[in-house]
A = this chain, B = another copy of it.
Amino acid sequence: MKAEPEIERLKATLAENKKELDALVLQFLPKTHKSKQISNLYEMMRDYPSRGGKGLRGTLCIMWCELFGGRREEALVTAAALELFQNWILIHDDIEDKSDMRRGAPALHKKYGLELAINVGDALHGKMWELLLTNSDIIGKEATLEILSEFANMLNETTEGQQMELAWTTHNEWDIDEEDYLLMVTKKAAWYTCISPSRMGAIIAVRSLSSLTQATSFGKPIHAIITNQGKRDKHPNGIMERLVGLGTDLGISFQIIDDVLNLTAEESKYGKEILGDLYEGKRTLMVIHLLRKSDESTRSKIIGYLSKRREEKSREEMKYVFNRMKEYGSIDYAIDFARKHSEKALSEFDELTRIADGGITSDRCLELRGLLEYLTNRDY
């Protein structure tokens, strides 16, 4: 665990970035229209982006960009689009997962009905691509297209992960092993939370430095910035590949901790329902561990409880499952699992910064390392 002042500093940085990115998004989104209905659409589109959040993804993109020597200003649109991505996809996820609450307030479809909410999600999704097209004037056509391609890939991974999880619920499937779970969580969470933001930061940095080179004879060969120096021909994208590995470990750890917090955090801090994942019947690492460790009759009982429709589930039944998790050590198991992946991610980070750019040892390196550590050590 990091020292208290360091964590406070990180939280302040996250909050500042989030404020700046939200302002950029809200500035970009339309406000009013002569048609009352379209004005209402704009209001709904601005709802989730106005609810705050941690700003992790945007901050990761900015920090990775700066780590590789890129300019913060050049990463802002992409970072803001990452926050926008989360907003539109959460509107649809909340419908799909039957979540009633989002960031301390009713989910969008609870406020306006699912028909309007689906369309709001699509409208906001479109705005994400439109925002990304404004990158053209900032980072040039080539990098703009590269970033768009990363977004398309991120969305492929995210929808595949969401499909896995939804299919398990829809078909009442409980015969899931850790391998299935890790594939799902890598696709559903690791890509858009960790892998893509870091890769996008790296892409923008390369372009920043390339323009610096042209402008000021800064003089470093472009690819050497993101590959092992002196080996640029052999592994020109070595670092981009490493960011997949690092982000996968980090994202797995992040999601498991998120699921642990869903069971154990204080409701006021967390902003979502406590035990909400059990009401949703979500297949978490804790549930998979619990089912593996239970005898046949307990297993049947737990599956029976978790398979019920949300509105038929009682507080007692959910508490029963939660207490079995504590009894069988499922929560400790998950925390330990997350810790191992987090440690692996940090040592990958150390290795990466050692070989990149002839070794990076700046304050920015420490700051980003601190953020990666915090991601899997947070209390809400």
**Which residues in window 28-74 of A have CB below 8 A to B?**
33, 35, 37-38, 40-41
Closest chain B residue to A98 by CB distance? B115
User: Quick check: is A95 within 8 A (CB to CB) of the other chain?
Assistant: yes
User: Quick check: is A155 within 8 A (CB to CB) of the other chain?
Assistant: yes
> Which interface residue of A97, A123, A168, A180 has the most chain B CB atoms within 10 A?
A123
The residue from B95, B151, B156 contacting A118, defined by CB atoms under 8 A apart? B95
* Size bracket, chain A contacts: 35 or more
User: Quick check: is A166 within 8 A (CB to CB) of the other chain?
Assistant: yes
Q: Complex: how many Å from CA A148 to CA B149?
A: 12
Q: Complex: how many Å from CA A92 to CA B35?
A: 23
Contact A122 B167 (CB under 8 A): no
Known contacts A35-B180, A113-B170, A160-B38: A118-B133 contact under CB 8 Å: no
Interface membership of chain A positions 295-313, coded 1 if the CB is closer than 8 angstroms to chain B and 0 otherwise: 0000000000000000000
Chain B residues with CB under 8 Å of A112's CB are 170
Chain B residues with CB under 8 Å of A160's CB are 33, 35, 38, 41, 123
User: Quick check: is A323 within 8 A (CB to CB) of the other chain?
Assistant: no
Contact A170 B126 (CB under 8 A): no
**Which residues in window 110-138 of A have CB below 8 A to B?**
112-116, 118-123, 125-127, 129-130, 133, 136
Closest chain B residue to A183 by CB distance? B35
The residue from B33, B121, B129, B142 contacting A152, defined by CB atoms under 8 A apart? B129
Contact B122 A95 (CB under 8 A): no
User: Quick check: is A159 within 8 A (CB to CB) of the other chain?
Assistant: yes
The residue from B114, B122, B149 contacting A125, defined by CB atoms under 8 A apart? B122
Contact B92 A122 (CB under 8 A): yes
Contact A148 B123 (CB under 8 A): no
The residue from B116, B125, B126, B127 contacting A166, defined by CB atoms under 8 A apart? B116
The residue from B121, B133, B153, B156 contacting A148, defined by CB atoms under 8 A apart? B133
Chain B residues with CB under 8 Å of A120's CB are 163
User: Quick check: is A141 within 8 A (CB to CB) of the other chain?
Assistant: yes
The residue from B115, B118, B141, B166 contacting A145, defined by CB atoms under 8 A apart? B141
Known contacts A126-B152, A136-B145: A92-B119 contact under CB 8 Å: yes
Known contacts A40-B163, A164-B35: A119-B96 contact under CB 8 Å: yes
Known contacts A119-B159, A133-B149: A167-B95 contact under CB 8 Å: no
Known contacts A89-B122, A167-B40: A129-B129 contact under CB 8 Å: yes
Known contacts A116-B163, A118-B96: A37-B152 contact under CB 8 Å: no
User: Quick check: is A255 within 8 A (CB to CB) of the other chain?
Assistant: no
Q: A96-B119, A115-B170, A141-B141 provided; 20 other pairs, C-beta below 8 A?
A: A35-B160, A37-B164, A37-B167, A38-B160, A38-B163, A92-B118, A92-B122, A95-B115, A95-B118, A96-B118, A114-B114, A115-B166, A119-B166, A120-B163, A123-B156, A123-B163, A129-B129, A129-B152, A133-B152, A148-B148
